[in-house]
Amino acid sequence: SVSKATRKAVAEHPTSDVVVLGDKPKAQLSRVVRKQLAISFNQIGKDVPTFQEAASIVDIIKSSELEFDTANIVYNKFHSVVSYEAQTIPVYSEATFKASPNFAVYEIEDDVLANLQEFSFANGLYWAMVEGHAAEMCAKRAAMENATKNAGEMIQKLTMTFNRGRQAVITNELSKFHRSCTTSVLL
């Protein structure tokens, strides 16, 4: 769902750059948005996300000098154990913060604004990573429960088939034995 929402967003804004977290979305998106793919991060999402990991990703994105006024983080929003959907979290640049209507009310130094923007970006990314991780774990859990249920049903069916076959062999043996006993009595 994240890849589908990202493809839709890129179709609406074809000059946008795309930053991809994880191997699976990279494989899905590299076929469609190869030209817009600016940065990709591998081995993301294997473990429980941490804020430090999100902050490191933001540092790399900022050092790559990708410029944006507003960026959208596309992620799977967790709704319930069986439900999630693609959502976006907006992230704003320092210039956008400065251009906001009520910014002049606050006396903020430039380095504080830079830190605020970076923290806001990392916090939004961390939020998205945690929501996505929760949705993934629930999907995996549901898949494992279904697999366990299906395996149990298969074992029960095979056990019944085996028992029927075993019972047929026993019945045939008893029938042969009964016939041999009956035959010997008659002689």
**Nearest residue to 87 (alpha-carbon basis) of 4, 3, 5:** 5
Contacts 24+ apart (CB under 8 A), 100-107: none
pTM score, two decimals? 0.70
Give mean pLDDT, residues 14-28.
79
pLDDT at residue number 170: 83
Is it the case that residue 97 has pLDDT exceeding 70? yes
pLDDT one-digit tens code per residue, 128-156? 888 888 888 887 887 788 888 888 889 88
pLDDT tens digits along 34-43: 777 777 787 7
Q: CA-CA distance, 22 to 75, in Å (whole number)?
A: 12
Q: Residues 81, 43, 30, CA angle at the centre, nearest 5°?
A: 90
Provide, rounded to the nearest whole percent, the portion of the chain with pLDDT above 70: 92
Residue with tokens 């179709």: 11
